[in-house]
Amino acid sequence: MDDMRYNKTKNDWRIEMGYSNSARLGYEFESIIADIFRSYGFTATLTDGKYHDIDVIKGEIKLAVEVKLFRDIKANNNAVLSAAEKVCHSAKESDFIPVIVSGNVVDERIRVRLKEYPTLFIVDIQNLLYLVDNDEVLRSRLLSVLSFSTDDLLPQESTELKKYNLNKLPPQKALHEDLIERIKKWEPSLKENTLYEKLCTDVIKYLFDSDLALWKEQQKSNDDLFRFDLICKIKDGTNKEFWTMAEKHFGTKYIIFEFKNYTEQITQKEIFTTEKYLYLKALRGIAIIISTKGSDKNADKAIRGTLRENGKLIISLTNEDLIEMIERKAIDDNLPAEFLSEKLDNMLVNLEK
C-alpha cells in the first residue's frame, strides 16, 4: 500500500485496533501538517477528507490542503496528479487556494504538468524540513513518520509559502533540554513502569527519528508468553554506520527495545528473556535494553555469550547513556548512532572465545 492515507468518515478520527500501521502514520502525518501551519499562526482544521484534508486559514488567506504520504522517498506520480484534480475542484467550489503537501520528493516533471492548474502549488518533504528546521519537536515528529532516510535531502524554502509569510520559525524551546531534565529527575519505581516506557520512547524517537520508522509499541508474542516494549524498522536509505552494519552484517531490519525501570541492575534473566524475542531469519537480530541502573556482571556475560554463540546482538544502555546521546544529538544528528557503534566496537574487540 503506497499511499499511507485511509478512508475516513465525517468527524471520525479514531485509530482503531484493526487499522494498519500505514493508516496510523497517515493520520499522524495529517496532524503534523496541521500543527506546522498552526505554528505559523494559521487556523488548521482537519476535515472529513471527502474533498480535501485540511482547511488552513489566516485572515483572508484560505488554503485547501490535500495531504499525501508514501513509503518510498519519491511521491507516486499518478496519485499526486489525482490529488491535484481533486483538491483543485474542491478549492474552486469553496474559493480556497489549492495546496498539495507531500511527505515525499515530488518529481519535477509532475510539477511541470501541474502548471495546468494555475492556482495550485506543491509543498514537498524538502520544504517541510525547512519549515520545521528550528523546531525540534515538530521536526522529530515529522521524521518519525517517514519510512525513508532524509540524510541526503536538503531543506528548501518554498517560494509559494513565503508569499504567505511561512518563513523559517525562530528557534523554539529545545526538546533535548527537556528530555535531559526529565531523565535527571527520574526516580526508579516499579509503580511507574508505564511512565518510564513513555520517557524512553520519547527519547528514542528524538535520538533516532531520522534512522528508524514504524514505532510499534507493546507487542506480545503470538503465544502471549512474552512482551517487548517497542519495535522499530531501520529506514530505507540510512547511511549511518551502526544501522548499515546492522543490516549488512547482522541481517537485521527490525530493532527491539526493552525498558527496565528497576531499582537495581538488570540480571542475566532479563538478557535471556530478551534473546527469545530475536529471530535472525525474521530480520530481527538486535535488541537494545534501556534500564535505570544498567546491567550487572552476569548480564554482561550473558550478552557476550548471546552474541558469540547465536549471533544475536543485545546492547545495554543506562539513563546516563541516554543523556550522553541526547547531548551528542544536539551537536550532530549522526552522533547517537555513532555512540551505538562505539558500544558495539568495544563488545567485539573484547569478545572472548
Residue 181 belongs to a domain: yes
Please tell me whether residues 158 and 296 are part of one structural domain.
no
Looking at the fold, whether 148 and 187 belong to one and the same domain comes out as no
Pair (32, 151) in one structural domain: yes
Check which CATH number belongs to the domain holding 73 and give it: 3.40.1350.10
pLDDT one-digit tens code per residue, 62-75: 999 999 999 999 99
Q: Which residue has the cell 536538503?
A: 154
Count up the domains in the chain and report the number. Answer: 2
pLDDT tier for residue 219 given thresholds of 50, 70 and 90: low
CB atoms within 10 A of CB 333: 18
List, in order, residues 6 or more apart from 180 with CB less than 8 Å away. 323, 326, 327
In tens, the pLDDT along 253-307 reads 999 999 999 999 999 999 999 999 999 999 999 999 999 999 999 999 999 999 9
pLDDT band, very low/low/confident/very high, at 2 (cuts 50, 70, 90): very low
pLDDT band at 353 (very low <50, low <70, confident <90, very high): low
Q: What CA–CA distance (Å, rounded) separates 246 from 285?
A: 8
DSSP class of residue 55? E
Residue 4 counted as domain residue? no
C-beta neighbour count of 108 within 10 angstroms: 8
DSSP strand pairing (61-68 vs 54-58): antiparallel
3 domain-assigned: no
Mean pLDDT of the 131-158 span: 95
Query: Does 100 share its domain with 180?
Result: no
| Distance from C-alpha of 181 to C-alpha of 212, rounded to nearest angstrom | 24
Evaluate whether 224 touches 253 at the Cβ level (below 8 Å). no
Query: Which residue is it, cell 531499582?
Result: 263
Reference 94, options 48, 51, 129, 156; nearest CA is 51
Range of the domain at 26: 21-162
The SS3 assignment for 119 reads: coil
Closest CA relative to residue 7, chosen from 26, 29, 34: 26
Confidence of residue 4 (pLDDT cuts 50, 70, 90): very low
Domain assignment present for 13 = no
Contact 280, 246 (CB under 8 A): no
Chain segment 168-203, per-residue pLDDT in tens: 887 877 899 999 999 999 999 867 899 999 999 999
201 and 233 housed in the same domain: yes
Per-residue confidence (pLDDT) for residue 226, from 0 to 100? 55
Residues 262 and 345 in one domain: yes
219 part of a folded domain? yes
CATH of residue 257's domain is 3.40.1350
Residues 26 and 155 in one domain: yes
Q: Do 295 and 202 share a structural domain? A: yes
pLDDT score for 20: 66
Alpha carbon distance 317, 242 (integer Å): 15
206 and 343 belong to one structural domain: yes
Q: Of the candidates 132, 162, 192, which is a domain's last residue?
A: 162
346: cell is 568495544
- Residues 158 and 182 both lie in one domain: no
| Better pLDDT: 24 or 326 | 326
Are 243 and 337 within 8 A, CB to CB? yes
Distances (CA, A) of 116 to 65, 81, 88, 121, 163: 18, 11, 11, 11, 21
Bigger pLDDT: 18 vs 53: 53
Judged against a pLDDT cut of 60, whether residue 12 lies above it is answered with no
Please report, as a single letter, which amino acid is at residue 14: R
Nearest to 186 by CA among 194, 196, 172: 196
Q: Which of 113, 137, 162 is the last residue of a domain?
A: 162
Domain boundary residue, one of 103, 135, 162: 162
Q: Which three cell numbers stand for residue 349?
A: 574487540
Mean pLDDT computed over every residue of the chain: 91
Same structural domain for residues 88 and 132? Answer: yes
Residue 71's Cα: distance from chain center in Å? 13
4 with 69: CB under 8 angstroms? yes
Amino acid 25: pLDDT: 87
Statement: the pTM of the whole predicted model exceeds 0.85 = yes
Q: Is residue 276 part of a domain?
A: yes
For residues 206 and 342, membership in a common domain is answered with yes
Question: Has residue 15 been placed in a domain?
Answer: no
Percentage with pLDDT > 90 across the chain: 82
pLDDT at 121: 96
Rg from Cα positions in the chain: 22
Q: Is 8 among the domain residues? A: no
Spatial distance between the Cα atoms of 168 and 173, rounded to a whole number of angstroms: 15
